[in-house]
Amino acid sequence: MPRTETYLDWNATAPLRPEAAAAVTAALACCGNPSSVHRWGRAARAEVERARTAVAALVGVPGHGVVFVSGGTEANHLALLGAGRARVLVSAVEHDSVLCGLPEAEPIPVDCDGLVRLEALQLLLAADPRPTLVSVMLANNETGVIQPAAEIAAIAHAHGALYHCDAVQAAGKIPLDMASLGADLVTLSAHKLGGSPGIGALAVRGELDLLPILRGGGQERGRRAGTENLPGIAGFAAAASAAVAELAIYDQVRALRDALEAQIGAAAPDAVVLGAAAPRLPNTSAVAMPGTAAETQIIALDLDGVMVSAGAACSSGKVGPSHVLKAMRVPPDLAAATIRVSLGWSTTEADIGRFLDAWTALYRRRRGFVAAVAHTQPAAHKGKARAA
């Protein structure tokens, strides 16, 4: 019997949008190398350039401002290493691909809501006159917290620094425009907004020179070598266009997410939503069930067909608390009890219902039922009930 599966791990990856599936499938049948000068090659090149314009439109830059890369991780590396700045400041809640991109980067602290402390950023910039790149993500992958990008950009620019913004989680969920963000470099990933995995882009404002990480055939105007991933690029463009056209769906997603949090709050007064006081993505909820390890929650939810995660998928295999929650000074026991619930454009009220059923059932087992059993049954049954 096929069980009903409820996918609430959209921040890890999103399903391929139908428009993207059609574009990927069509491009997979197209054989040319975009660098070849014969007709097969020219057809492939035309497709790449059409797609570049569509992806550029997602962030409001001209087509030539988009450099296609293999994904968000590579784009973040290209921004940090390629901008060629002597000094790099990164927020303490950045994705691992930013934090590991340049181990010597200096951290910018965040407040307990996960927002960058602007006065600390100013002090850091004022303290050292070297050419600097500031890298602060638009929305956090674990909490959904949205940074004040325009203010960060203004501070960075006032000190002559460049601003790089990892918009992997924000793109397709909230409006995005490089000019209003004030960002000089923006990281995008296709598979988070309904394209296929293995393709991303770094959007570049103006004529900023980038030192390539991958060298070779001179593709992407010398900024990133390697034969272009044509199906990935075509799917990325289709997904980007669909995401822009359907952005209003996220009003409904927000309503579902808010209802989810409200019902959790009603059922479990001690539950905590992290970053709730800050502006957040409409689809993300980092919610703690105090006293119950995230791993326990995830296994229990998975048994009920509900898929969520304990944090970033890329570090799912890692042990230890989330660096994001740690930077927000969330107490370690609360951080260890936090799961990430992330919704998407096809999430339904029924999905939320199934999540709430599973979550509250677990909550009751861990609280009331155990207490009730302890109250009415012989002590020998206590351990059994707890193990369930």
Partner 1 sequence: MSSPMDTPANALPIYLDNQSTTRLDPRVLEAMLPYFTEHFGNPHSTSHAYGHIAAEAVERARAEIAALIKADPREIVFTSGATEANNLAIKGAAHFARAHPARAHSQAASPRNHVVTLATEHKCVLESCAELERQGFEVSYLPVEPDGLVDLDRLAAALSEQTLLVSVLAAHNEIGVIQPLAEIGALCRAKGVLFHSDAAQAAGKIPLDVEAMQIDLMSISGHKMYGPKGVGVLYVRRRPRVRLLPLIDGGGQERGLRSGTLPTPLCVGLGRAAVIAGAEMAEEAARLRRLRDRLHQGLARRVARLGLNGDRERRLAGNLNLSFPGLSAPALIDACPSIAISTGSACTSATVEPSYVLRALGLPDAIANSAIRIGLGRFNTEAEIDFAVDALAAAASRLAAENGVRPPAGVPT
Regarding 216 and contact with partner 1 (CB under 8 A), the answer is yes
Interface with partner 1 in residues 241-270 (CB under 8 A): none
| SS3 assignment, position 245 | helix
Please choose, out of 4-12, 56-64, 123-131, 132-140, the segment that lies near partner 1 by the rule CB under 8 A.
Answer: 4-12
Interface with partner 1 in residues 173-212 (CB under 8 A): 189, 191, 196-199
Regarding 226 and contact with partner 1 (CB under 8 A), the answer is yes
Angstrom distance (rounded) from CA 15 to CA 191: 8
Query: Applying CB under 8 A, which of residues 53, 227, 348, 377 lies at the interface with partner 1?
Result: 227
Nearer of residues 182 and 212 to partner 1, judged by Cβ: 212
Size of the site for partner 1 (CB under 8 A): 74
Which neighbouring-strand residues pair with 132?
Answer: 87
| Tokens encoding 29 | 């049948």
Interface with partner 1 in residues 288-307 (CB under 8 A): 298-299, 302, 307
Q: How far is the CB of 318 from partner 1 (least distance, A)?
A: 7
CA angle 106, 169, 189 (to 5 degrees): 95
| Tokens encoding 95 | 């994705």
Interface with partner 1 in residues 90-149 (CB under 8 A): 95-101
Angstrom distance (rounded) from CA 90 to CA 109: 9
Regarding 346 and contact with partner 1 (CB under 8 A), the answer is no
Query: Applying CB under 8 A, which of residues 1, 37, 319, 387 lies at the interface with partner 1?
Result: 37
DSSP string, 159-222: TT-EEEEE-TTTBTTB---HHHHT-SEEEEESTTTTS-TT-EEEEE-TT-----SS-SS-TGGG
Instruction: Put residue 311 in one of left, alpha, beta given phi > 0 → left and psi -120 to 50 → alpha.
Output: left
Q: How far is the CB of 153 from partner 1 (least distance, A)?
A: 24
Nearer of residues 180 and 227 to partner 1, judged by Cβ: 227
Q: How far is the CB of 235 from partner 1 (least distance, A)?
A: 8
30 tagged catalytic? no
Which neighbouring-strand residues pair with 133?
Answer: 88, 162
Angstrom distance (rounded) from CA 42 to CA 28: 16
Query: Applying CB under 8 A, which of residues 72, 172, 182, 282 lies at the interface with partner 1?
Result: 72
Nearer of residues 45 and 87 to partner 1, judged by Cβ: 45
Query: Applying CB under 8 A, which of residues 228, 253, 272, 343 lies at the interface with partner 1?
Result: 228
- Give the active site residue among 100, 112, 165, 314: 314
| Tokens encoding 54 | 């569509």
359 and 289 Cβ atoms separated by less than 8 Å: yes
Catalytic residues: 314
